Amino acid sequence: MTSSLFSPLRVGRMELPNRIVMAPLTRNRAPDAIPTPLMAEYYAQRASAGLLITEATAISHQGQGYADVPGLYGTEQLDGWRRVTDAVHARGGRIVTQLWHVGRVSHVDLQPDGQRPVAPSAIAARTKTYLIKDGKGSFVPTSEPRALAAEEMPGIVHDFRHAARHAVTTAGFDGVEVHGANGYLLDQFLKTGANQRSDYYGGSIPNRARLLLEVMRAIVDEIGGDRVGLRLSPVTPANDVTDENPQALFEYVMKQLAPLHLAYIHIIEGSTGGLRELPDRPFDYEAMKQAYRRAGGHAAWMVNNGYTPEMAEQALEHGADLVAFGKAYIANPDLVERLRAKAPLNTPDTATFYGGGARGYTDYPTLGQA
Ligand code: 8OZ
């Protein structure tokens, strides 16, 4: 049987030549939140992927949570991204951007006027963020957040909508992926550990899912569902999120998403970048997917987290449509060609994951160069 990783697939408006996706990867190489020419080179090097998903990109200044991560809310940021998308398209690739609001995973030093970060409830995340001061990076505890007022919610939805519009027009992306995962704002609203509101946006599952669904509907209305994806992480402990009943929560979310005709759903299985099975957080991903399909949802199903090439082929045989690779893509710009040739992979250097320049970023050799 020929390997299905290399079979093409139509995903919404996009024709992907293969099923291999570059996962979103935070790299902290965008000073002042502006994408650089080096970033254009990095993404263009990886253009043979079926799809490139950019690193998480802030939709607003309030949505910023780390030093030197890019944004989509200023003219220079959008122009910087246009250089990236032009470079990727010149190499024949497809690229979507990941729309990000960090919520409480931020620090007053990164917020407009040094204000407190915003969250569903005034509960601090027991986690760290990354700051750069005088050229030196360090991990520091996140700041105490304040609860968003009900009147502020339309503004958050507006910021997502606005960023999506500019992503596909000004910045030239093929689409967007909404970051609903890893304990950032939308995930904070979804889950009971971070959301203790008593208004329309907290309490019941429909209430906790409200912000995510409002954001998705607004973006679909703005740019069309066929170029919109969504990333979710039902049980990740990343950034200190927990939920009392994730199975019921995510099956509800799936049913609500089905009519939106999204391009793809992107699922992080287990703990982001870590264990795929968590004994204290069991989850049935197949049941989640079936809830979506039974409700009429047709989006491509993308899986992620620690997949080897062998596991990826198995996942495709068992009904996944796409597989996203993270660390492997850091170290292997020609991952598609290497997997096709069953060639060995370069090993990623963890010391250069976050921050820095070309080293550990654009200098990993292709097979031809090695
Ligand atoms: C690593 C470091 C900082 C942010 C995520 C956007 O986990 C991130 C992230 C990852 O989704």
Tell me if 66 CB under 6 Å of ligand 1: yes
- Integer angstrom CA distances of residue 352 from 46, 143, 237, 348: 18, 26, 24, 9
Tell me if 26 CB under 6 Å of ligand 1: yes
pLDDT in tens, 276-312: 999 999 999 999 999 999 999 999 999 999 999 999 9
Q: Give the span between the Cα atoms of 119 and 189, in whole angstroms.
A: 8
Q: What is the pLDDT of residue 133?
A: 85
pLDDT grade for 145, boundaries at 50, 70 and 90: very high
Mean pLDDT of the chain, nearest integer: 97
Enumerate the domain spans of the chain.
Answer: 9-352
9-352: which CATH topology? TIM Barrel (3.20.20)
pTM to 2 decimal places: 0.98
Q: What is the pLDDT of residue 135?
A: 80
pLDDT grade for 196, boundaries at 50, 70 and 90: very high
Q: What is the pLDDT of residue 137?
A: 83
pLDDT grade for 3, boundaries at 50, 70 and 90: low
pLDDT grade for 161, boundaries at 50, 70 and 90: very high
CA of 57 to the centre of ligand 1 (A): 10
Residues annotated as catalytic (active site), given as ranges: 184
Q: Which atom of ligand 1 is nearest to the CA of 231?
A: 11
CA of 239 to the centre of ligand 1 (A): 9
**Which among 56, 296, 295 has a CA at the least distance from the CA of 167?**
56
CA-nearest residue, atom 3 of ligand 1:
26
CA of 120 to the centre of ligand 1 (A): 20
Radius of gyration, CA atoms only, the chain: 19
pLDDT in tens, 59-96: 999 999 999 999 999 999 999 999 999 999 999 999 99
Residue 313 DSSP SS3: helix
pLDDT in tens, 105-114: 999 999 999 9
- Above pLDDT 70, what percent of the chain? 99
pLDDT at 40 over 70: yes
CA-nearest residue, atom 7 of ligand 1:
182
